[in-house]
Amino acid sequence: MTVTAVRKAPQRLTLTVEAEFDASVERIWQLWADPRKLERWWGPPTYPATFTKHDLAPGGRIEYHMTGPAGDQPHGYWDVLEVEPPRRILLRGGIANADGTPNTDTPISTIRVGIEEIARGRTRMSIENVFPSTEAMEQVLAMGTEEGQSQAVSQIDAILAEETSSARSRGEPL
């Protein structure tokens, strides 16, 4: 299990998740900085994400959509408020219209990402998610994010356990 801490503050509608990875800071950074990597983990297998714009620079914009099993395509966007490669990102965004423009009727949430080395080849990532309201959380959750989730977790756990143990037994870097 790589998630090391979860903090929830319902009074502030804030969720903080910390995870540790056997990988360098640079490789964890690439999970966010490379859109092709980002879309591999953002949505569950049943709702894969496609990033059509990915300008990870202060003032930049990230646009994506997810594709559901019935062909439905909910859109989302992030405004990049702060970036400090390879350690820090602050994003603010929400639901978008089909043309990628923000849907101004829907609430906005923020994601703060922190990446730090805790030992050689071991990296901690923290994600702080702040929601403006319970409605905002419901809307984002409704974006195809629940379906297929438990299934993905068990599949990936199995794959990961296999790959990690085989790599370790070969004495190869992870």
Partner 1 sequence: MVVIVQIAKADFDPVFAALADHTRRDIVRRAISAEEGVLELASHYPMSFAAVQKHVAVLERAGLITKQRIGRRKVVRTNPEALLVARRLLDQYEELWRARIDRMNELIAETAGAIDTVETKESKR
For residues 113 and 36, what is the distance between their CA atoms, to the nearest angstrom?
Answer: 18
Are 104 and 7 a contacting pair, CB within 8 Å?
A: no
Looking at the DSSP bridge assignments, the partners of residue 150 are none
Query: According to the binding rule CB under 8 A, does residue 33 interact with partner 1?
Result: no
Query: According to the binding rule CB under 8 A, does residue 174 interact with partner 1?
Result: yes
For residues 18 and 115, what is the distance between their CA atoms, to the nearest angstrom?
Answer: 10
Q: Which residue has the tokens 């599949």?
A: 155
The residue (of 75 and 90) whose beta carbon lies closer to partner 1 is 90
Give φ, ψ of 136 to 5 degrees: -60, -40
| Cis ω before 107 (30° cut-off from 0) | no
Tallying the residues shown for the chain, one arrives at 174
Query: According to the binding rule CB under 8 A, does residue 118 interact with partner 1?
Result: no
Query: According to the binding rule CB under 8 A, does residue 67 interact with partner 1?
Result: no
The residue (of 13 and 33) whose beta carbon lies closer to partner 1 is 13
For residues 88 and 83, what is the distance between their CA atoms, to the nearest angstrom?
Answer: 6
For residue 116, give the nearest of 6, 9, 18 by alpha carbon: 18
Among 29, 42, 77, 78, contact with partner 1 (rule: CB under 8 A)? 42
The least distance separating partner 1 from the CB of residue 99, rounded to whole angstroms, comes to 21
Among 60, 68, 100, 107, contact with partner 1 (rule: CB under 8 A)? 107
Query: According to the binding rule CB under 8 A, does residue 122 interact with partner 1?
Result: no
Give the interface with partner 1 as residue ranges (CB under 8 A): 2-3, 6, 8, 10-15, 17, 19, 21-23, 27-28, 31, 37, 40-42, 44, 81, 90, 92, 107-110, 112, 125, 127-135, 137-138, 141, 145-146, 149, 152-153, 156-157, 159-160, 163-164, 167, 170, 172-174
